[in-house]
Chains A and B, each alone.
Chain A
Amino acid sequence: MKDKNELTADLLRGKLVRLCAMDSESISKFFVGWTHDSEYWRLMAATPPYPWSQEGVKKFIEKELQKDDPRNIFFVIRALEDDRVIGEIGFDGTSYSQGDTFVGIGIGERDYWGKGYGTDAMNIILRYVFTELNLQRVSLTVFEYNARAIRSYEKCGFRVEGRAREIIHREGRRWDIIFMGILQEEWQALNA
């Protein structure tokens, strides 16, 4: 917090992207496309890829939104330049008494990979979590074969806290999951 004006600044807008509400009607078609991209899915999730229908995605999002659970909050990521829906970000399993949450992010649109959009969205989320929700730390897990994501998380200030061995079984071999975390004071020092 440098001055008072920062309190009224747009908390959910970064340099390249902004975070918006999950409107199931308008965004489900984007999500459908991403679920058909098995590489994207295998970077994002431990479950086997499955190409969803638009109706299925819509219902799923609506069900999640209906729960209105403050422990699970999700946003869509839009590029500032053309307002295109390019990905998703959110956190779940938040424990407000322990001050910890798990963040998850995916840039579904391949044209936007490797250009800093994801890092920008993650930085917005960290600001949101540390200055609006006032949590103590943020956790995440990433598969060891997702080097691009690990680099991005390190850029945001996440540190490796360990690896769960041989968790993912894909393409005939086993891969580790890497646990990363960032503490509020670390984030503050980085963003002073």
Chain B
Amino acid sequence: MTTSFAIPLFEGDLVRLTPVDYDKDPEVVAAWTHNAEFMRMYSLQPVRPLTAAQVKKQFEQIDKDMDEGKRLFHFAIRSKEDDRLIGVARIEWIEWSNGTAFLKIGLPDPADRRKGCGGDVLRLLLRFAFREVNLHHLEVVLPEYNVPALRFFEKHGFTIEVRRRQAVNRGGRRWDLIHMAILRPEWEARNERQK
């Protein structure tokens, strides 16, 4: 009898969730930080381009946070086809006693998104979060101008819970900041329906 343990946690149809690679990844991530269009969708921090050396330092901090803080899972997303680094996926700010956390996915290249890599990553992350980390509430925070991401998460079962008015100030105007979330029972019910 095959148990559900046999289902690979970190391997999807198109992508693999892996640790960061200190040798190969910094150059690629440094290039992402120069892509302001992506960074404004991915982060609320002011855009700031980094060198590969600075990215490497960030990797060290991430490893340290994962090991010592125990509230973070940080994955480098690689395409199975060519083992290329295509993005980043995080489960962060885990609150163990309540079973809550935040989720973050970044796929800078629109071509990878069109192929369906985003859906593949999200499936892996949700499965990991609800069936292995045993979370209950998974939240994602998005500025209202990131319409594709809002649609993406809605399509995958997330509900808008909070709209923090005018919390983002960018591109010459203020925008709302939207919190979306999915509960474990909601995710389980969707899985049942899809079977």
Q: Which A residues form the contact surface with B (CB < 8 A)?
A: 46-48, 95, 97-100, 136-137, 139, 161-169, 174, 179, 181, 183
Contact = CB atoms under 8 A, between A and B. Distances in A.
A146 B58 CA distance: 39
Interface of B: 44-46, 95, 97-100, 136-137, 139, 159-170, 174, 177, 179, 181, 183
A136 B170 CA distance: 13
Contacts of B99: 169
Nearest to A160: B162
Given A136-B174, A164-B181, A166-B136, A98 B95 contact: no
A98 B98 contact: no
A169 B44 CA distance: 29
A169 B99 CA distance: 8
A167 B161 CA distance: 12
A166 B167 contact: no
A169 B98 contact: yes
28 contacts: A46-B95, A46-B100, A47-B95, A48-B97, A95-B44, A95-B45, A98-B168, A98-B170, A100-B164, A136-B169, A137-B165, A137-B167, A139-B164, A139-B167, A162-B160, A164-B162, A164-B179, A165-B161, A165-B181, A165-B183, A166-B137, A167-B98, A169-B136, A174-B136, A179-B162, A181-B165, A181-B167, A183-B165
Chain A to chain B: the 9 pairs with minimum beta-carbon distance, closest first: A162-B162, A179-B162, A169-B98, A100-B167, A97-B46, A164-B161, A48-B97, A98-B169, A162-B161
Contacts of B98: 46, 167-169
A162 to B, nearest CB: 3
A181 to B, nearest CB: 6
Contacts of B137: 164-167
A151 B86 CA distance: 47
